[in-house]
Chains A and B, each alone.
Chain A
Amino acid sequence: MKKIISTFLILLVFSSCDEKTDCCVNFEPVKVTFKFTQNWDGIPVTSSDFNNFKFTTQNGETVSIEKLRYVLSTFSVGSVIKNYHLINIGENTGSELTFEEIPQGSNFLQFTFGFTDANNIDGVYQDLNSVSFNVPGMLGGGYHYMQFDGKYKDTNNADANFNYHAIRAVNRTDPANLIFQDTSFEVDMGTFDLKNDTTIEIKMNIAEWFKNPNSWNLNELNTVLMPNFEAQKMMSDNGKSVFSVGVVTP
């Protein structure tokens, strides 16, 4: 009787070990770090490149960047989501975003530039309030998607200011009846087979904001763009070709 019981127990132990081996190897999570970089048609742009007239738009205006910060929301790696992430190039903050526990295997990468209407809730994000990223109530409230400020050389070759501020588009023709259009947009970065800790570069080509499909004329569209319904839609259209995947390691 003892032998039978011993044999049964040994079999039970070994069979449970087998099961454990099968079930758990595939669930070892990996760490994924996103590294946000900026470039101007392939030339890297960092804060050290700010305050210099060293970039030229497709329309021919020479540009100096003085401030550039933008928010990406619903940042998804597979089923793991981070609500939002602010990247500030001038202050070198937010240049990396890390997901600690991503299941190994095939994961789809996706994020939203700015906030969808559902998430663009006025005043609720304390860290964004604290850095004055808000949109006035008269424009519907919520938050900027991007603040991109600088100078360009105007037609007289004099310095002129621009504030390329992307927000949810609002038509204020009738201030009592604002018409909104959600100008945030989803960016699909494709599927990644994640087997180890991985770093993925997300590139922003700043030049694209002035290029495609709308060739942007800074002499016409420079400041007071937040209440400009058409300008906001153009920004949104141009933004769709701004982001791409760069280096993936390992």
Chain B
Amino acid sequence: MFKKYLFLLCFFLLMRCASKEEEIYTPISYTLEVPQLFADKLIAPVIPANNPLTEEGIALGKKLFFDKILSGDETQSCASCHNPQNAFAENQQFSNGIDDKLGFRNAMPLFNLAWNFDELFNWDGKEFSLEKQAFEPVSNPIEMHANWKDVERRLQNHPEYPTLFLQAFGNLEIDSVAVTKALAQFERTIISGNSKFDQYLRGETTLTPQEQNGFNIFMDEAKGDCFHCHGSNNNPLWTDNQFHNNGLDSSFSDVGLGAVTGDPADHGKFKSPSIRNLAFTAPYMHDGRFTTLEEVINHYSEGLQPSSTIDPLMKKVNEGGVQLSDEEKADLKAFLLSLSDFDFINNSALQE
């Protein structure tokens, strides 16, 4: 009799274990949609082994990106300063945080981040990896100014998030690490690779004579010499993702990379932004000092300021720059605008 009960008890325990196993949700693996030019020309994007892309993780990251729940008073989301319509940048020089405090750098556009091979993010390269980068704006007192513990608690008490985290990561308890992992997964899917110039490289359209001449100026070491820092037809990221002093100032109120490395040789160095989507990302430079593309081009043409750390690639510093004619400037601008990706800013998969 006892043996019978023992057998039944074991049977029920086993059944309970089996049903528990069935409850464990396995997220669906997601393959990044890599533009053909990227696949042809570049090495593989960076996707950490401890944060593989899944449909659930990306969906959760997207929901979090647009949710004001991450900010201290629940009035701002990531998208407040990284608007899809502006190629995930902001059309103001500096961003207002929740306490109405102004930042001191222009919000960077977000796209093609999985191809930042060195994984150094922000204008000054302060953050290593997308996952780590996402921690900072949430708690930064001049940005979203939240306490991570409060954010975790809010998410835990939310009617939907616990299930979404469970499905994405198997976490019953929501923590900041899982939040940033989800955000990073979504950010890796923010891809821009279908501008007019991309279509031209794929043989689907032609450039106007002005755009073609502008491209030649961009690529000519004796003219614009932009390609050394900003990529080329063979590097469709249109950035080297490196740090340069591009001659904005002779002395620095913001030393950029220098503050991160502690090396005076890095003073005044900031990340080269991609020149994709400039039509949507004004104002320009790390401090948003230029409101138009004309101002940017004028800077390189005749506005360079010498300093001990100015990049050697800045030509003719003593003359102020590369001295482009008005026609060359207009052509260069036409080429730059051909890198505008309207499909990207209108992609509903990347909108709220």
Chain A interface residues toward B at CB < 8 A? 50-51, 66-67, 122-123, 126-127, 129-132, 134, 136-139, 149-151, 159-163, 165, 223-224, 226-227
B308 contacts the other chain (CB 8 A): yes
Q: Which of B115, B219, B312 has the most CB of A within 10 A?
A: B312
Which chain B residues lie closer than 8 Å to A122 at the CB level? Answer: 234
For chain B, residues 298 to 313, give those with C-beta under 8 angstroms from any C-beta of chain A.
Answer: 306, 308-313
Among candidates A132, A139, A162, residue contacting B235 with C-beta atoms closer than 8 Å:
A132
B103 contacts the other chain (CB 8 A): no
Residues B219 and A66 in contact, CB atoms below 8 Å apart: no
Q: Is the interface of A mostly helix, strand, loop or mixed?
A: mixed
Which chain A residues lie closer than 8 Å to B315 at the CB level? Answer: 161, 223-224
Q: Give Cα distance in the complex from A160 to B316, angstroms.
A: 9
Which chain B residues lie closer than 8 Å to A138 at the CB level? Answer: 216, 219-220
B228 contacts the other chain (CB 8 A): yes
| Interface pairs (27), CB distance under 8 Å | A50-B265, A51-B263, A51-B309, A67-B312, A123-B234, A126-B42, A127-B43, A131-B240, A132-B240, A134-B232, A134-B235, A136-B221, A136-B232, A138-B220, A149-B311, A149-B312, A149-B313, A150-B312, A160-B317, A161-B310, A161-B311, A162-B312, A223-B316, A224-B222, A224-B225, A227-B220, A227-B222
B314 contacts the other chain (CB 8 A): yes
Known: A136-B219, A138-B220, A224-B221. A151 touches B232 (CB 8 A): no
B231 contacts the other chain (CB 8 A): yes
Residues A163 and B240 in contact, CB atoms below 8 Å apart: no
Could you tell me the distance in whole angstroms from the C-beta of A105 to the nearest C-beta in chain B?
Answer: 36
B227 contacts the other chain (CB 8 A): yes
Residues B312 and A161 in contact, CB atoms below 8 Å apart: yes
Known: A137-B233, A139-B221. 17 other contacts (CB 8 A): A50-B265, A123-B40, A126-B42, A126-B43, A129-B42, A129-B234, A132-B227, A132-B228, A132-B232, A134-B234, A151-B312, A159-B308, A160-B318, A161-B315, A223-B315, A224-B225, A224-B315
Which chain B residues lie closer than 8 Å to A165 at the CB level? Answer: 221
For chain B, residues 245 to 261, give those with C-beta under 8 angstroms from any C-beta of chain A.
Answer: none
Which chain A residues lie closer than 8 Å to B222 at the CB level? Answer: 224, 227
B101 contacts the other chain (CB 8 A): no
Q: Give Cα distance in the complex from A160 to B319, angstroms.
A: 12
Q: Which of A134, A163, A226 has the most CB of B within 10 A?
A: A134
Residues B313 and A137 in contact, CB atoms below 8 Å apart: no
Known: A127-B43, A162-B312. A227 touches B221 (CB 8 A): yes
Which chain B residues lie closer than 8 Å to A67 at the CB level? Answer: 312
Residues B313 and A136 in contact, CB atoms below 8 Å apart: no
Could you tell me the distance in whole angstroms from the C-beta of A132 to the nearest C-beta in chain B?
Answer: 5
Residues B313 and A163 in contact, CB atoms below 8 Å apart: yes
Which chain A residues lie closer than 8 Å to B312 at the CB level? Answer: 66-67, 149-151, 161-163
B41 contacts the other chain (CB 8 A): yes
Which chain B residues lie closer than 8 Å to A151 at the CB level? Answer: 312
Q: Give Cα distance in the complex from A129 to B227, angstroms.
A: 12
Q: Give Cα distance in the complex from A67 to B240, angstroms.
A: 14
Q: Give Cα distance in the complex from A163 to B219, angstroms.
A: 15
Known: A136-B220, A224-B222, A227-B222. A161 touches B314 (CB 8 A): yes
Residues A130 and B42 in contact, CB atoms below 8 Å apart: yes
Closest to B118 in A: A91
Which chain A residues lie closer than 8 Å to B42 at the CB level? Answer: 126, 129-130
Closest to A126 in B: B43
Among candidates B231, B263, B308, B314, residue contacting A132 with C-beta atoms closer than 8 Å:
B231
Which chain A residues lie closer than 8 Å to B227 at the CB level? Answer: 132, 134, 136
Known: A129-B42, A130-B43, A227-B222. A159 touches B306 (CB 8 A): yes
Q: Interface code B152-169, partner A: CB below 8 Å = 1, 0 otherwise?
A: 000000000000000000
Q: Give Cα distance in the complex from A131 to B317, angstroms.
A: 25
Q: Give Cα distance in the complex from A127 to B41, angstroms.
A: 8
B200 contacts the other chain (CB 8 A): no
Q: Give Cα distance in the complex from A66 to B312, angstroms.
A: 8
Q: Give Cα distance in the complex from A161 to B227, angstroms.
A: 17
B117 contacts the other chain (CB 8 A): yes
Q: Give Cα distance in the complex from A132 to B232, angstroms.
A: 8
Could you tell me the distance in whole angstroms from the C-beta of A120 to the nearest C-beta in chain B?
Answer: 13
Q: Give Cα distance in the complex from A117 to B329, angstroms.
A: 34
For chain B, residues 1 to 46, give those with C-beta under 8 angstroms from any C-beta of chain A.
Answer: 40-43
Closest to A141 in B: B234
